[in-house]
Amino acid sequence: MKKLSLIYNPFSGDKSFRHELDVCLKEFNEADFEVNIFRSTQYGDIEKHIANIKDDNYDVICVSGGDGTINILVNALMKHNMSHIPIGLFPSGTANDFASYMNIPTDAEECCKIVIGGKTMAVDMGKANDKYFINVCAGGLFSNVSTEINKHFKDAFGKLAYYIKGMEQLNGFKPIPMRITGSNGIIEDNINLFLVLNSSGTGGIGRLVPDAAVDDGMFDFLGFRNDLVKDTPKLLLNFIRGEYLEDKSVIYFRDNDIKIENLDPSNRYSVTDCDGEVGPEMPVEIKNIHKAVNIFVK
């Protein structure tokens, strides 16, 4: 009998996953899994749970939640040298960008069948200073939206809450002078927003970099230096046409080791965001860890 830990965040998304627990138990029990259920209710408890089970020889760890919950789990697994244990994803959060990229359905029964099927894919992970991420590390405008949203506001408006909060940040925002160092040299420019992507998208936009791959050992870097008022309409039009990566206001390159510095330390947007969780403050060095974790896939 295989041992499986199912971690779920009861506050993720529409909070409906708790009603699927019996379905999950039925599917896993019939497939000869011994299931341990852990309900995450406060920050830090997932890390404690992983620390408590690290010597119990688990075969599978499943996680129900959004990108932030997955981020907390992978950081705990890396910290306790348990990244070899394959992860089953149950996307139930407000934002499920990584699971969406991996083509994981939102139906809990289907997610169970994917885990039971046993097929896994080794995927890359990023390390931003001492913090890990699996989908994106971001900085600048909008990057701290997910960490500043009031929980009740997000409950009321769902994904729309991110866009409403983002619009609030436009008032008085000034581009950040940044130094970006990669394998091919140094770029210094005024940046509104940067994204270091492992998958193809974030913020509910799934095709920011259509050709991105999570197992190629590389990141896709996007930096936006456009005039927010004057250039954004043209940038959006080019995005619809699939031509925006060539836009003069976009910095785009691929690399596996990128250093980003904020040349104006007084700017309040110096803190980065990793998968919707608070990341390190700039300067930040972002390294690709090739095929660091295994994810169950169709």
Q: pLDDT tens digits for 121-171?
A: 999 999 999 999 999 999 987 555 445 545 543 444 444 444 434 445 555
Query: What confidence tens digit (pLDDT) does each residue in 14-23 have?
Result: 888 999 999 9
Kindly state whether residue 297 falls inside one of the protein's structural domains.
Answer: no
Domain count, the chain: 2
Residue range 255-260: mean pLDDT, rounded:
98
Residue type, 287: K
For residues 21 and 114, state if they share a domain. Answer: yes
The Cα 293–Cα 259 span in angstroms is 23
For residues 158 and 276, state if they share a domain. Answer: yes
The Cα 198–Cα 209 span in angstroms is 10
pLDDT computed for residue 161 by the predictor: 43
Provide the sign of the torsion angle of the four alpha carbons 41, 45, 46, 49, taken in this order: negative
Q: Which of 118, 147, 167 is the last residue of a domain?
A: 118
pTM listed for this prediction: 0.87
Domain that holds residue 160: 131-290
